[in-house]
A and B are shown apart, each in its own frame.
Chain A
């Protein structure tokens, strides 16, 4: 608002309605964009760096240069303009938009042409009018009469002599600069913008019979910045950069949950810079406004993968009826026996073939940035045929600070093949001891005990355990 007021004040002080050539060349250039050679670097957290090299026709000395076709969601405070022999005096981002009302406001005190049309004959009468005010209606002076525009309801065209110089069709970046030499000159405009983002999408076709899967990775980028980027060199960066903009914090996506069981330590054969993995697109591309674009970056065949089952019971959890176990897909991103690449954050969609051999969707899971060599375990859904029923059979007080809890877990499998279920009892709080159990458990951590339970085809397995809790 301050900037806008300043703009108006400047105009009033200097030359209102700076004389422009009355009508601009009617035919626009063959290319509709003012962008030059554009390079876009997109980060994951709604941040992108745009570099735009343009050729400007500069006059020696001080000039005001407009930069149309920059992102509509530009962060003006991040703009830098560089070029040989160019010094920046000031940069403005003008939001004073060209609208009919604004144009009439700027015409106050100016003279316009009226064309009145006789409704009966269609005959036109032209006269000049001076706009006196444009508040809740337009008051104007024609000769020695004062009149309200279209108060008689008759058709009247208002023809302005020119578009006021400071009104823009779109928010526009303008830079006041001083050039030491004239003529055509290359300048580089750098800025950060919002509205460009990317993530990875994975298509995993899992073959349960031979335990292999094919995985394709796609980079999905989308453009909501209100501007197309024409024929741009595009670089995608896996990782988020810290944003100084506090407001942005609220829109930060939640960190992706789970999936990675063991973080890998291998280095992928990809370009790296600091902690970022870089994914340059192989060729220039046009990123249109409101476009979602996908480019392939990973294609792996016959990577080993296995189906597993997990069930986690909350402390003292009793289920009234059997509950489906989670069905998980386990694989590795290691070079040996895995996908052999670092995996940028995204959604893994898992497909399996139906009885006729057509791929069908069986679930999806979001992963975070995953280094090469990691073990992954992705819950894709619940197993219809594999169920667990946990029951607190008995809970007895041993003394004031000790309780004994007898648990029973019934695992059932209605499928035609035996399965192994990772049964986890949660909430053990460290000082809980397992006093007795029907099969040996593994203490995953202070909080959790794990049993690897084999459930026969079309059969059931029961696990019992007695917990001794102190507090």
Chain B
């Protein structure tokens, strides 16, 4: 691996456990030849770049995150001479093995492997199929322990063992009995393991960089916008919320988030294989049991503590969102990454397992905005009764208007202030907006303009329509009716123009007043 530069470091305190397996009878045949296993228990330095689910919206569910992350770990290892199996522990559980890149060992690496066969009671006994184990029985009456040798004859569907007395089935006896095995086979590990096979003719101390993509991550941008009392500017603040749904946390990580849409491909990932011991017996019906005998009670599964989702984190996050723009001391810094935007948290932070983290990403205290009420319909739409038109906020994403920075897609919450307290006006969504773009966002808050649109008459293919807009606020409202239709508009009583493929009537509805548009429409 040469892409990431090879770095040799001076011999220093050895890091990593070294386990020597010489002619281990109980290990895998491939490992039966002298093979050194070197374990790198954790990363010395780690960087996490989180990419988001392009279709994600709303709150993130830590149990179902559809974004992903790029993890870059630096590990210092010392390898003995000869053939070495270097195992990386503490990598993310969602690791996509096809994406793993190991650099820093130069040509020594011959292959890299990811094993998903895990150590579990079932796979452990399975590994001893046909081999010698110990059968231990404890007498309920006397507490006396007896042990004897046994060979596992079957393990998939109930355990059959052979002893010098004959063939028996484990735990169909009513006795307290169990199997003891001498070693954990070398090919079973606690977690899916990423390893490389390396070979060197002399001992090597190296700094290895391990890069991989992993699932179980996501992030969101959430804007908190507060309208100034005069309604002419907006204080725009955005949270960058990172979520790690993986069982692995990353301590003191250089943390980044990438905005923009990336192409992803489906890749097949082998799911980890674990099994519990299956203890099927022969038919066990007893005479006092009815023939429709109730099945044995379901074993009570213990809840796995690791699965618990830390709700507190998200609850705190929610409360923060609902306060007006907070004072933050740490803000993600934006840079360009190819055609994407990268947000870097300037200090190393801990991205804990099953947790959410928020930092500020955008703070623009005075973005100039215009307000507009929009009625968007087909030219021949007709309303039963007056309907509310949509309130729109207009920005220009440029510096002289108090913005001028990439605005990644996200949801936003619009507040105003009442009595010195934040007052929620509405919520909405925004797509990725580049610098220089005009931005229209609809916070889904009621406007003060109601509209009635109806057809007045029809003769051949000429139809007459009327649109009446009424305003119940004491302030005049900028208003646009945007009508879809490819035909010709004639004889309008007010100016109506063709813009962006629509007919647009742009006007102002006076305070506590109304305006009426009538026009003839001739279809093509």
Contact = CB atoms under 8 A, between A and B. Distances in A.
Given A32-B28, A163-B162, A364-B262, A134 B283 contact: yes
Given A285-B111, A385-B434, A395-B486, 6 more contacts: A117-B139, A135-B283, A155-B173, A292-B114, A318-B501, A383-B339
B111 A307 contact: no
B99 interface: yes
- Of the four ranges (under 10, 10 to 19, 20 to 34, 35 or more), the interface on chain B belongs to 35 or more
Interface in B46-100: 47, 49, 51, 70, 72, 97-100
A359 B174 CA distance: 60
B3 A157 contact: no
Interface string A375-387: 0000111111111
B113 interface: yes
Interface string B264-304: 11011110110000001111111110010000000000000
Interface string A155-199: 111111111000101100000000000000000000000000101
B110 A295 contact: yes
Nearest to B141: A122
A321 B440 contact: yes
Contact of B130 (A28, A122, A228, A324): A28
Contacts of B155: 169
A291 B158 contact: no
Interface of A: 23-24, 26-28, 30-33, 97-101, 103-104, 112-113, 117-122, 134-138, 148-151, 153-163, 167, 169-170, 197, 199, 201, 203, 205-206, 208, 214, 216, 218, 220, 222, 224, 228, 230-231, 282-283, 285-286, 288-296, 299, 301, 307, 318, 321-322, 324, 327, 347, 349, 352, 354-355, 358-366, 379-387, 391-397, 412, 414-415, 458
B474 interface: no
B335 A169 contact: no
Contacts of A97: 154, 156-157
Contact of B98 (A98, A160, A292, A321): A292
A384 B160 contact: no
Interface of B: 1-4, 25, 28-30, 32, 47, 49, 51, 70, 72, 97-101, 109-117, 129-132, 139-142, 144, 149, 151, 153-158, 160, 162, 164-169, 172-175, 187, 197, 211, 213, 256, 258-265, 267-270, 272-273, 280-288, 291, 335-342, 344, 406, 431-432, 434-437, 440, 486, 498, 500-501, 524
Contacts of A318: 500-501
B283 A137 contact: yes
A24 B162 CA distance: 9
28 contacts: A23-B162, A30-B25, A31-B32, A98-B153, A100-B281, A117-B139, A119-B140, A119-B141, A137-B286, A137-B287, A153-B174, A163-B160, A169-B154, A201-B99, A203-B3, A230-B30, A288-B117, A291-B113, A292-B98, A294-B111, A307-B339, A324-B432, A347-B267, A381-B339, A383-B260, A385-B339, A392-B501, A395-B486
A100 B172 contact: yes
Output the residue of B286, B291, B342, B440 with the most chain A CB within 10 A.
Answer: B286
B7 to A, nearest CB: 14
B158 A148 contact: no
Contacts of B435: 385, 414, 458
A136 B154 contact: no
B102 to A, nearest CB: 9
A138 B172 CA distance: 12
A159 B265 contact: no
Contact of A150 (B268, B284, B344): B284
Contact of A121 (B28, B110, B141): B141
B72 A358 contact: yes
Contacts of A396: 486, 524
Nearest to B408: A384
Given A32-B131, A294-B98, A361 B49 contact: yes
A224 B286 contact: no
Given A98-B153, A161-B166, A384 B116 contact: no
B28 to A, nearest CB: 7
A324 B437 CA distance: 12
B157 A99 contact: yes
A167 to B, nearest CB: 8
A159 B29 contact: no
B268 A222 contact: yes
Nearest to B30: A286
B339 A382 contact: yes
Nearest to B439: A321
Nearest to B406: A384
B112 A294 contact: yes
Contact of B149 (A26, A349, A394): A26
Nearest to B97: A292
Given A137-B283, A362-B339, A224 B141 contact: no
Output the residue of A206, A307, A352 with the most chain B CB within 10 A.
Answer: A352
Contacts of A121: 141-142
Contact of A28 (B32, B131, B269, B524): B131
Contacts of A321: 431, 440
Given A98-B154, A321-B431, A382 B114 contact: no
B214 to A, nearest CB: 11
